Amino acid sequence: MKLKSLEYVTPGWSLDGLNLSETSLIVGRNAVGKSKTIEALNSLVSVILQTKEIAEHDNFFYKIIFSDNDTELTYSFACFQGNITLEQLIDHNENILIERNENSTIFFNDEINPPSNKLTINVRRDTKLYPQIEKIVNWAENSYGILFNQINMFPNGTNLFSTMSKGESIIPMFEKLNDDLKLKVQEELNALDYSIDEIKIVKIGDEKSDIRVLQINEKDVSTFLWEGLLSQGMQRTLYILVLLFYIVSQKKKTQTIVIDDFCEGLDYDRSIKLGKYLYKFCLENNIQLITTSNDSFLMDVVDLKYWNILQRKGDKVTAINIYNSPELFEDFEFTGLNNFDLFSSDFIARHKK
């Protein structure tokens, strides 16, 4: 399953018009809502997998279209003050599989009574009877990502970062890699001109300490660094590579990879190389890739057909893309300008007039 579109509403913020393909680059000015969009995807996974309980104060609405080859599933649900007030699942033939409101729930033609704070897909699963539900849950279980704005260093030295609602530390992820994959991480860092001689897990502190960190030894440098002291660009590159090879090690059919602030802190050469490597990895493994970035180097090499340009007016965010604004993108092609100019110039504003 792949995400085809996403609508999201929560008090003080809404997103509309986000259309996604096998590769999607989300761009926009600062504070327009790029990270909030990724957080909305993260919360979607949390609700589906129940890794985060719906709280009494929660209010939100989702409408998602999933695609799988020639089939589609449209799934909508709303929560008001911690209670599910709407839930609907429609297949590609427009059959209504789930129809739920505040008073009743029809589930595959049967009336049921799910808990008010649970989605129906959380409480009624059967791989043979309800394969549509399994596809949605399977998507959530096999989607990964890194929300770099949510990286936290805890007192015990654990660098926990969100991998699409699966809060995991870089240490156990790296630890699960076999020797060949650990070496592959090092080789790819070297291909990006980081000159790494060794990456290993070490304990720091006294004998009673349980703090473990990744130690990075650079070639021809007598001192070493651990991942928390790396430059922003190098640290993020390390985390992305560990995540990719962790996915390889799990031997599961990964559905989607989401990365916020991709290529932030990288120079031109490394930005282009890492971008091409990640895009090729996802293409070869049939993984949907969703990234946000304001990196001009990356924008200039990613085809505009994969762009979503976010614009914000008050608390409403809308996405401009080739699906809902084909004429704008067609006209821009004739300007001869770089991709980045579509984002940085007043072309969109003038085109609307």
pLDDT means over runs of 10, the chain (353 residues): 96 96 94 92 92 91 93 97 97 96 96 95 94 94 81 45 60 91 95 94 81 88 85 91 90 87 90 92 92 91 94 96 95 92 89 74
Instruction: Check residue 253 and give its pLDDT.
Output: 83
Tell me the domain boundaries of the chain.
Answer: 2-142+252-352, 166-251
Instruction: Check residue 82 and give its pLDDT.
Output: 96
Question: Which long-range CB contacts under 8 A does 61-65 form with residues at least 24 apart?
Answer: 61/7, 61/8, 61/9, 61/10, 61/86, 62/6, 62/7, 62/8, 63/5, 63/6, 63/7, 63/8, 64/3, 64/5, 64/6, 64/7, 65/3, 65/4, 65/5
Question: The whole model's pTM is what?
Answer: 0.91
- What CATH number should be reported for the domain whose range is 2-142+252-352? 3.40.50
CB neighbour class for 284 (10 Å; exposed up to 12, middle 13-18, buried from 19): exposed
Strand-pair category, 143-146 with 256-259: parallel
Rounded distance between C-alpha atoms, residue 211 and residue 153, angstroms: 11
* pLDDT tens-digit series, residues 13-71: 999 999 999 999 999 999 999 999 999 998 999 999 998 889 999 999 999 999 988 88
Instruction: Check residue 161 and give its pLDDT.
Output: 47
CB neighbour class for 49 (10 Å; exposed up to 12, middle 13-18, buried from 19): middle
Beta bridge partners of 304: none
Instruction: Check residue 157 and give its pLDDT.
Output: 40
